[in-house]
Every structure is written in structure tokens, then in C-alpha cells.
Chain A
Amino acid sequence: GDSVTQMEGPVTLSEEACLTINCTYTATGYPSLFWYVQYPGEGLQLLLKATKADDKGSNKGFEATYRKETTSFHLEKGSVQVSDSAVYFCALHSGAGSYQLTFGKGTKLSVIP
């Protein structure tokens, strides 16, 4: 079945450091890929998405590129801020007749001043 593996957290970075959160997937067909973010006390928010190979999703300074050859969708940001502290979830939608999202376990990011 479909699965998503993302790097274990927690991750602690200093403000303005570079961020990479690794995400790899296993899926049938050609999935759409997503990064969701959950800020403290809030629901999951869609951060960015990519629907086909080589697409790059971007939002709020975050980027992720859909790499079919390595089945990866790593999340990157060049300079993190304290306000980026949250839990980040990688997810996929296989589109194979089902509407459900398959999630990774989540990576908690803490950014310290």
C-alpha cells in the first residue's frame, strides 16, 4: 500500500539557519504530494503541493520538488524564523480511486532566537 516516510524529529534550529526535512514515499500510480503544517493549537494547514514529477511547490519561503526518480519530496527553507516552529507533515494522494491522504509521522521543528 501507499506509505510516506519522513525524518524523525524533533529538529531544533537557530533563527536564520537552513532547513531540510526529508520525505520519501511509496505509492501506486502517480501521486500528488503535499506538505501540511500544524502550528501550536491549530489545525493542519496546506503549506504547498506538487501534482506531477519535477513540479516545485512553494509558499512562505518553503520549497519542495517532486522527484519521481528518487520518490522524494524534501521540504526546504533557506532561512527559518521563530514563527516557523510547528509540526510538518508530508502526505500523498494516490488518486487511485480513493480520496484519502496518506501521511508521514510528522516532524516537529523548533526555531530558537
Chain B
Amino acid sequence: EAGVTQFPSHSVIEKGQTVTLRCDPISGHDNLYWYRRVMGKEIKFLLHFVKESKQDESGMPNNRFLAERTGGTYSTLKVQPAELEDSGVYFCASSQDGLAGPQYFGPGTRLLVL
């Protein structure tokens, strides 16, 4: 069974540009999460989807970040316009059972904003 996949693995963009990250969860997992790790800091929760609905977006830093999960399959996270402080590693995770089940993580997308 394929794990959580993320694309791209790395992205280098200039301040003010737009970047879109993609996450494909494990097949059949209704719950999808986005997290972010800024250099030297903790991995922080961004938001949680149940199927195509946003269950919790309390961790989204500001309105430059837009997450979607059309059709309840893969998800995209768009940053527009990107700022220097957006640099970090963006992780996606999925789970079958939101409360009791473990979250399975992808390898992350390393974003560098210059």
C-alpha cells in the first residue's frame, strides 16, 4: 500500500511568488492534515480536513495560505504571495480514524523563499 506522498520535494521561490504544494493521502483515509516546521522550531499544526471539509483550520497563519481538498482525495496548499518567514518544511499526514488512529506522514516539502 502506498504511503502519503507529497510534491514537490523541494521548492525555491522568490518573495512575492506563488507556490502550490500537493499531498496525496493513503487511499481510503478520510482525515488529512497539514503541518509545518520552521527551522529550529516545533512542527506546528496548520489544518485538518475530513473528506473535502475543513474540520479545523485554527493553525493557518494568515490569509496568504489557502488549502483545498476537492473531491476528498488529494489536497493542495497554496501560498500567495510567499514571504520569507514561510520557509520551512511542510508535512502532510493522513489517518483513517481521526481520534484514535495514528497519523501517517509524508516526507514533506522543503520550501525556501528568497
Q: Which residues of A contact B (CB under 8 A)?
A: 4, 34, 36, 41-46, 49, 51, 89, 91, 93, 95, 98-106
Contact = CB atoms under 8 A, between A and B. Distances in A.
A106 B105 CA distance: 15
A36 B106 CA distance: 12
A41 to B, nearest CB: 7
Contacts of B55: 99
B48 A100 contact: yes
B33 A100 contact: yes
Contacts of B42: 4, 102-106
B41 A105 contact: yes
Top 5 nearest A-B pairs (CB, nearest first) are A100-B45, A44-B105, A103-B43, A43-B107, A43-B105
B41 to A, nearest CB: 7
A48 B39 CA distance: 25
Interface string B32-56: 0101000011111100100000011
A46 B102 contact: yes
Size range of the chain B interface in the assembly? 20 to 34
Interface of B: 3-4, 31, 33, 35, 40-45, 48, 55-56, 58-59, 91, 93, 95, 98-100, 102-108
A100 B91 contact: no
Contacts of A36: 105
Contacts of A51: 100
A107 B31 CA distance: 27
Nearest to A3: B42
A92 to B, nearest CB: 12
Contacts of B93: 44
7 contacts: A44-B105, A49-B102, A89-B43, A100-B58, A104-B42, A105-B40, A105-B42
A4 B45 CA distance: 13
Contacts of A4: 42
A51 B106 CA distance: 23
A9 to B, nearest CB: 11
Contacts of B98: 99
A99 B104 contact: no
